[in-house]
């Protein structure tokens, strides 16, 4: 059974971690799959040090910030994600490379190609087979302004508007990889739509009901 790599993206508070847990539970219970749930930044011991500095450390210039997110990702891929995929697991990550393109390129206004290439180099070209975008209007963040405590959250409403638009633009440019969902839907409705997209990506023996098409080909039907 081959591994399957899925990322969840979206603004702060869009409900990504809940959906990661709901999908993991379904994959384990209904499909008996080995599932690894993880996140960026901070999916490794080194990553947790980087996460603490990135979110709660001193101010960083944009390029340093981009390099540290990419370093977190490179180590995460090399030590957690690739080994799990090689063992046939499903890997669900709360944020991945597209967050860097949205936050460090569109948000911090670095060239998107540079930021994307940096992560592709760091990960030796690993992209998810499916990326679920939980999209929320930026305005919903405004009422949480008072609660914002980390460096990324403090970047301001215009910054977050640019990150949202970058996610939407990337999704529109590569519909085979992306599933865009309205994060204002109920948890159950979102989970159902995620399962509908993930089901055909599970290569299970013929007759098991979930289809046997290889990952990467099915995505083109989205
Ligand atoms: P986190 O507390 O995990 O928030 P969320 O619930 O929104 O995922 O904080 C991660 C923050 O780091 C979030 O504001 C997005 C930001 N980030 C980047 O700027 N670049 C990246 O490459 C990644 C992975 C995250």
- CA dist 116 and 32 (Å) reads 34
Residue in 71, 103, 163 to alter for ligand 1 test, most ligand atoms within 8 A of Cβ: 103
pLDDT in tens, 21-64: 999 999 999 999 999 999 999 999 999 999 999 999 999 999 99
As a dihedral over the C-alpha atoms of residue 40, residue 46, residue 48, residue 49, rounded to 10 degrees, the angle is: -130
pLDDT tens-digit readout, 126-160: 999 999 999 999 887 766 656 667 888 888 889 99
Q: pLDDT averaged over the chain?
A: 90
Quick one: how far is CA 207 from the chain centroid? 31
CA of 198 to the centre of ligand 1 (A): 24
In whole angstroms, how far apart are CA 4 and each of 100, 103, 105, 159, 188? Answer: 21, 25, 27, 32, 23
CA 38/CA 24 separation, integer angstroms: 11
Distances (CA, A) of 222 to 16, 187, 204: 20, 21, 20
Q: So what's the pLDDT on residue 141?
A: 72
Say if pTM beats, i.e. exceeds, 0.85.
Answer: yes
Structure confidence at residue 87 (pLDDT): 98
* Ligand 1, CB within 6 Å, residue ranges: 12, 40-41, 55, 69, 94-95, 99-100, 103-104, 152-153
For ligand 1, atom 10: residue with the closest CA: 41
Rg, C-alpha atoms of the chain = 17
60 phi and psi angles, rounded to 5 deg: -120, 150
CA of 40 to the centre of ligand 1 (A): 7
DSSP-assigned beta bridge partners for residue 181: 134
Give the position, in ligand 1's atom list, of the atom nearest the Cα of 96: 24
């Amino acid at each position: 059974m081959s591994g399957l790599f899925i990322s969840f993206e979206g603004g702060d508070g869009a409900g990504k971690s809940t959906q990661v847990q709901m999908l993991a539970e379904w994959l384990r219970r209904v499909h008996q799959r080995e599932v690894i749930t993880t996140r960026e930044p901070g999916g490794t011991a080194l990553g947790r040090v980087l996460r603490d500095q990135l979110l709660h450390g001193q101010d960083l210039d944009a390029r340093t910030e981009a390099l540290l997110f990419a370093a977190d990702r490179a180590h995460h891929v090399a030590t957690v994600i690739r080994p799990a995929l090689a063992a046939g697991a499903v890997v669900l990550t709360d944020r991945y490379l597209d967050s860097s393109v949205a936050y460090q390129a569109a948000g911090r206004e670095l060239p998107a190609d540079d930021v994307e290439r940096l992560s592709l180099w760091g990960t030796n070209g690993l992209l998810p087979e499916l990326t679920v975008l939980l999209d929320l209007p930026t305005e919903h963040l405004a009422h949480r302004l008072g609660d914002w405590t980390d460096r990324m959250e403090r970047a301001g409403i215009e910054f977050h508007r640019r990150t949202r638009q970058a996610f939407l633009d990337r999704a529109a440019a590569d519909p085979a990889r992306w599933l865009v969902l309205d994060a204002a839907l109920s948890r159950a409705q979102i989970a159902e739509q995620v399962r509908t997209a993930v089901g055909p990506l599970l290569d299970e023996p013929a007759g098991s009901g979930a289809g046997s098409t290889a990952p990467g080909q099915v995505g083109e039907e989205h």
